[in-house]
């Protein structure tokens, strides 16, 4: 086991795949000699050369389209968005081309492309740099979406995403890049369609992902001290949802709390609640609670920014309200 930071885990996973498969290449703004805005590709330019590590102009629509074309003709491109919010400029290429060409070509083309980069609400990055694009892309047919939350799953997910034949969007949170964890030195993959049971419990199922995993774990310490026993699931796969793992938990706890950084309207939580009501309504002992960010552009002001995002004390309060009292749990 070696202890590394999350951005280093992404680098290790990407490097292992580029060493393993000469078809894997990277493109994006400043990914070359600069090493990427968060140093995920540091040292790659010297190791792989300019043809496998392509520095692009500030033209997201163009280079994402080029990556789709490269995937159609046999390469396995990894596109880095310097900030995920900038990839809205490439929405047409991602939605109408990356997501649909396998289907609209009658299966003649596969699009093994990975689109990754920093997103989420940072610390005073402003509205345009605090986007949560999972809400935008979840309804696009043909796309897979995963969100890493630890160095372990970051490395395993990026390796699995590069190897699949499907187009994958890997969401990384800008505030988790310096998160440290010991991970195995031997090779491993993390399933792109499987949730992770972070903590087993019997009172309530808490479904979360990305940075909110750590807010939930912080809240869980308080909850356990108060006598509650929450089960925590990091859904990891935002699309498709692992309803098998989630359903097994719900049949045990009969209560659900969704905690997300995404917006409440049209967010992952909204889709998750709809799926749970459809599939597990009879297993629920009460309404599904959902804690989401407020439906406002993220303020630049630090105190106002904090008010828009769910905090651990709100998670504790929501679980207490769900259970009503320790005796009812």
pLDDT tens figures, 159-184? 999 999 999 999 999 999 999 999 99
| Active-site residue, from 8, 102, 129, 305 | 129
Question: Residue 328: its pLDDT value, please?
Answer: 55
Q: What is the rounded average pLDDT of the residues 280-303?
A: 94
CATH number, domain 196-324: 3.40.50.920
Q: Where in the chain is the domain with CATH 3.40.50.970?
A: 2-183
Residue 279 known to be catalytic: no
Q: How confident is the model at residue 2 (pLDDT cuts 50, 70, 90)?
A: confident
Q: What is the rounded average pLDDT of the residues 43-67?
A: 95
> Is residue 327 predicted with pLDDT exceeding 70?
no
Can you say whether the dihedral through the CA atoms of 91, 94, 96, 99 is positive or negative? negative
Kindly report the number of other CB atoms within 10 A of residue 124's CB atom. Answer: 14
Q: What is the rounded average pLDDT of the residues 44-67?
A: 95
What mean pLDDT value characterizes the chain? 95
> Is residue 102 predicted with pLDDT exceeding 60?
yes
Interatomic CA distance for residues 80 and 32, integer angstroms: 11
pTM for the model = 0.95
**Cβ atoms of residues 257 and 205 within 8 Å:** yes
Q: What is the rounded average pLDDT of the residues 139-146?
A: 95
> Is residue 112 predicted with pLDDT exceeding 80?
yes
| Active-site residue, from 8, 17, 60, 196 | 60
- Write out pLDDT tens, residues 8-35: 999 999 999 999 999 999 999 999 999 9
Q: Where in the chain is the domain with CATH 3.40.50.920?
A: 196-324
- Write out pLDDT tens, residues 178-221: 999 999 999 999 999 999 999 999 999 999 999 999 999 999 99
Residue 129 known to be catalytic: yes
Question: Residue 1: its pLDDT value, please?
Answer: 82
Top-level class of domain 2-183: alpha beta
Question: Residue 329: its pLDDT value, please?
Answer: 56
- Write out pLDDT tens, residues 233-276: 999 999 999 999 999 999 999 999 999 999 999 999 999 999 99
> Is residue 326 predicted with pLDDT exceeding 90?
no
């Amino acid at each position: 086991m070696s202890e590394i930071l999350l951005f280093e885990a992404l680098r290790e996973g990407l490097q292992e795949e580029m060493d393993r498969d000469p078809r894997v290449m990277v493109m994006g703004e400043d990914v070359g000699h600069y090493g990427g805005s968060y140093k995920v590709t540091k040292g790659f330019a010297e190791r792989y050369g300019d043809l496998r590590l392509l520095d692009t102009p500030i033209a997201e629509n163009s280079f994402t389209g080029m990556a789709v074309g490269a995937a159609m003709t046999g390469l396995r491109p990894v596109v880095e968005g310097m900030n995920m919010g900038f990839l809205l400029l490439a929405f047409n290429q991602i939605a109408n081309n990356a997501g649909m060409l396998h289907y609209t070509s009658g299966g003649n083309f596969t699009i093994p492309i990975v689109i990754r980069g920093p997103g989420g609400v940072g610390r005073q990055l402003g509205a345009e740099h605090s986007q949560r694009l999972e809400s935008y892309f979840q309804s696009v047919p043909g796309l897979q979406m995963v969100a890493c939350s630890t160095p372990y799953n970051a490395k395993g997910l990026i390796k699995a995403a590069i190897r699949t034949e499907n187009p994958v969007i890997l969401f990384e949170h800008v505030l988790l890049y310096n998160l440290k964890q010991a991970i195995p030195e031997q090779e491993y993959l993390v399933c792109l369609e499987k949730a992770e049971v972070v903590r087993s419990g019997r009172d309530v199922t808490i479904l979360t992902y990305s940075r909110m995993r750590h807010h939930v774990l912080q809240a869980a310490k308080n909850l356990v001290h108060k006598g509650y026993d929450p089960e925590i699931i990091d859904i990891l796969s935002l699309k498709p949802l692992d309803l098998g793992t989630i359903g097994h938990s719900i049949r045990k706890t009969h209560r659900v709390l969704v905690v997300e950084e995404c917006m409440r309207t049209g967010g992952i939580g909204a889709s998750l609640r709809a799926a749970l009501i459809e599939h597990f309504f009879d297993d629920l002992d009460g309404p599904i609670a959902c804690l989401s960010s407020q439906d406002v552009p993220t303020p630049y002001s630090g105190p106002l920014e904090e008010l828009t995002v769910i905090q651990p004390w709100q998670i504790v309060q929501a679980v207490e309200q769900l259970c009503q009292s320790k005796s009812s749990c």
